[in-house]
Amino acid sequence: MEDQFQHRPYVVVFPMMAQGHMNPMIDLAMILASHSCKVTILTTLLNSFRYHSVTEWSRSQGLELRVVHLPFPATQMGLPEDCENLDSTTNPDMLWKFVLGIKILQQPFEEFVRKEPPNCIISDTLFPWTTQTAEKLKIPRYVFHSTNSFFYCVIAGMRSHDSDEEEFAVPGLPHEVRMRRTLLSVPYEDESLLLGMDALHKEMRMSDKTSAGVIFNTSYEIESAYVELFKSMRGCQQLWTVGPLSLISHPKGRSRQEKQGKEQSPIDEDQCLRWLDSKEPRSVMYVCFGSIASLSGAQLMEVGQGLESSQHPFIWVIRGAVEEGFLQELQERVKERGLVIKGWAPQLQILSHQAVGGFMTHCGWNSLLEGISAGLPLLTWPMFGDQHINERLVVDVLGVALSVGNQKLMGLDEEQKTEELVRREQIERAVTAVFGNEHQAREMRRKAAVLSETVRKSVEAGGSSALNLNVLLKNVGCHV
């Protein structure tokens, strides 16, 4: 067996320990392995359990893909012992301590790479210090961005705008994009965290310039003007848009199989799909707000009542605390019209099902890509990170989304004030609008269908993402 693999190129893939970062990099690792690469995924012990079925499936296909654990001393960072993923953080300070403390992995990373030198390293953008190891050992290092180029262009424009205006048109962009200054960053009590994040962002910008290449999990057709703007801003030598990677590694909406996060669902994949099979085409609203942020109990009640009032079938994936009595009563009232799932749900398969006609999302980039790929109109409910900026891309630039109305940068465990809640009436109106016959709704559905077809073609033979992926594979040393 060793002889079979000894001449294959060897790649180390090192994702940030967060679902939004790990999922696309795992997809990329599987693609590399399917093109005769030997692949090692570096992560921590607790994170590796989430992808046991992925590595088992790869082995069953004759692919050489393995996971190696690096030690993660969470307590040394002032975090709980089992906090090895961003979805284990419960407030903004914990989240950024986690991000800033990741640098402690530099030494074990370098020790591993010295022991087993790869042909190249593909590293998450949040690990800019891997550039130092790569340069020291003369190993090509590629940086992977799990978000979009639009985000970086907007951030640069907002930082260059010297004004006290609360809301303004971001300068230097190909489209008019209006942003609120308060959505740019989270207010931290610890000033050292702000300084640390600023330093990290500077390192990330420099690592884009000095890396062998920059990889984006996006399709050029989604944001071509912003890809070109990013290239000129960062001075990138080589940049490849290779997404959506979920379309390449899961072309028919096949579930990743891993149960993500800490909560397990009492409803299995087959039950969920059977429920969808009983619904009319394009009639169901799918609602999911990601694996990290949790809405308050009061806000979750508004969501449930808004979905109920809309009179449309829905699947609602809940993360967070909500009164069990409320959920039971809601399920009883909506009966077969609504399906409430606590914990994990097979999102790829749900979105690709013909019964689903809309997607209410927190605007995480992976979720947006999956919704776009499925050709669904979107209802946007951003909370933090890149999400408010991502909302502007799908609402203002692409025209495939409507905003539900949240204008607040939310913390992970923040209990919203009563006046800040998105009300059930807003939610009902937004859901009704997506399925309505008004010109705006028809045009949004049309644009979503056209964009889906365009994006899908980009990953097919001869498409922009497929061609870029081939160039990347050749750089890595694969025979394409």
* Catalytically active residues, by annotation: 21, 124
**Nearest alpha carbon to residue 29 among 18, 38, 20, 17:** 38
Beta-strand relationship, 167-169 and 178-180? antiparallel
Burial, 417: exposed, middle or buried (Cβ in 10 Å; 0-12, 13-18, 19+)? exposed
Bridge partners for 121 per DSSP: 12, 141
In the DSSP assignment, the letter for residue 417 is P
Residue 228 to residue 236: CA distance in whole angstroms: 10
Name the residue among 405, 348, 357 with its Cα closest to residue 377: 357
Cα of 137 vs its chain's centroid, Å: 31
Residue 1: is it exposed, middle or buried by C-beta count within 10 angstroms (0-12/13-18/19+)? exposed
Give dist(CA 67, CA 65) in Å, integer: 7
Count the alpha carbons within 13 Å of 270 in the hemisphere toward its beta carbon.
Answer: 0
Written as one string, the DSSP assignment of 327-394 is HHHHHHHHGGGEEEEES---HHHHHHSTTEEEEEE---HHHHHHHHHTT--EEE---STTHHHHHHII
What angle is formed at CA 227 by the lines to CA 223 and CA 231, rounded to 5 degrees? 170
Nearest to 42 by CA among 123, 103, 98: 123
Q: Is 288 helix (H, G, I), strand (E, B) or coil?
A: strand
Encoded tokens for 58:
């790869």
List Cβ neighbours of 217 (8 Å cut-off, separation of 6 or more): 24, 28, 144, 145, 146, 147, 242, 243, 244, 245, 365, 366, 369
Three-state DSSP at 440 gives: helix
